[in-house]
Amino acid sequence: MESAKRVKEAPGYQVQSSHAPKKSKFGIKNIKAYGEKFILLFIAAIQIYPLLWLIMFSLKSNQEIFGKNPLALPQKLLWGNYERALLDGNIGRYFINSVIVTAAAVVITSVLAAMASYGISRMKWKLSGTMLMIFLLGMMIPMHSTLLPLFIFLKKAQLYNTYVALVLPYIGFSLPMAIFVLVGFFGTLPRELEESACLDGANIYQIFASIMLPLIKPAVATISIFTYLSCWNELMFATTFVSRQEYKTLTVGIMGMVGQYATRWGELGAGLVIATIPTVIIYISMSKQVQKSFTTGALKG
């Protein structure tokens, strides 16, 4: 006790308080983190603003759209634009046609690309590299150069003005990119998986369906989104290969809403919003799978 008392009485001795001042939370690291968040929020706002502007556009009249301040909020929400677009503009029927054509193209492209990629990348045969090059050559063929030959073929095959007239070209032009992506993804998978399955008595079809397909789900999600975007937004083939009203797709229908003498721009904007909704929903539901495919390729590649 006496020694402790002497220490306290010694000159220069200071008792440290248990309530020491805390370091400021605004350090360099925190400033950097806040700066990154601000930049990301700014980029997100730039990306979201066109969609919000389109929604406001669809709820306005022509007078407001071409008024003094076209960027202002609508004075009165004209929900009737959506009703007239669906009924008078026949957008509902065009929407169903686009869903049928796009869904068929996405499903068939994914199945064919998965099987072709598995045969090229996982099986040992002499012409696997040559076959891959033939498929990849399809990426170099411009769509416009095939317009006339495809039109003549579809006419002679009596496929003109049918869903097949659009599904077949969409599959043909989507397969090269899909095979290119899946072949690279298959190359990251270890061959020990197939060898162990063979030792357990599984045949090639069981290996492909039960082992390989679950592993390539992220890559399939990626090619599905790419195929969906290219088919859903396609206009040239849809305009050339289909002329009957009951088979027209959404892009052709929206283009037809532009009148020769007058155009109801609010209704046209409503049609564009309806066409955009599936894209937003699909991306939100499949974005994790796409991110996973990119991450897996970066780690294993």
Each residue's pLDDT tens digit, 62-71: 888 887 777 7
Give the pLDDT mean for 174-201: 88
State whether the Cα torsion 291-279-144-237 is positive or negative. Answer: positive
**Structure confidence at residue 287 as a pLDDT band (50, 70, 90):** confident
As a whole number of angstroms, the distance between CA 214 and CA 165 comes to 32
pLDDT, tens digit, for every residue of 101-115? 999 999 999 999 999
- Exposure string of 183-195, with b = 16+ CB inside 10 Å and e = fewer, is bebbeebeeeebe
Closest by CA to 215, choosing from 197, 201, 229, is: 197
State the chain's mean pLDDT as an integer: 83
Indicate the helix (H) or strand (E) that contains 111.
helix 91-122
pLDDT at 26: 52
Over range 251-273, report the average pLDDT: 84
**292 band by pLDDT with thresholds 50, 70 and 90:** low
Overall average pLDDT of the 209-232 stretch: 89
Q: How far apart are CA 167 and CA 19, in angstroms?
A: 73
Q: Which domains can be identified in the chain, with CATH numbers?
A: 80-300 (1.10.3720.10)
Per-residue pLDDT band at 236 (split at 50, 70, 90): very high
Residue 116 CB partners (closer than 8 Å, separation 6+): 135, 175, 179
Average pLDDT of the segment spanning 69-80 = 83
Task: Say yes or no to pLDDT of 17 above 70.
Answer: no
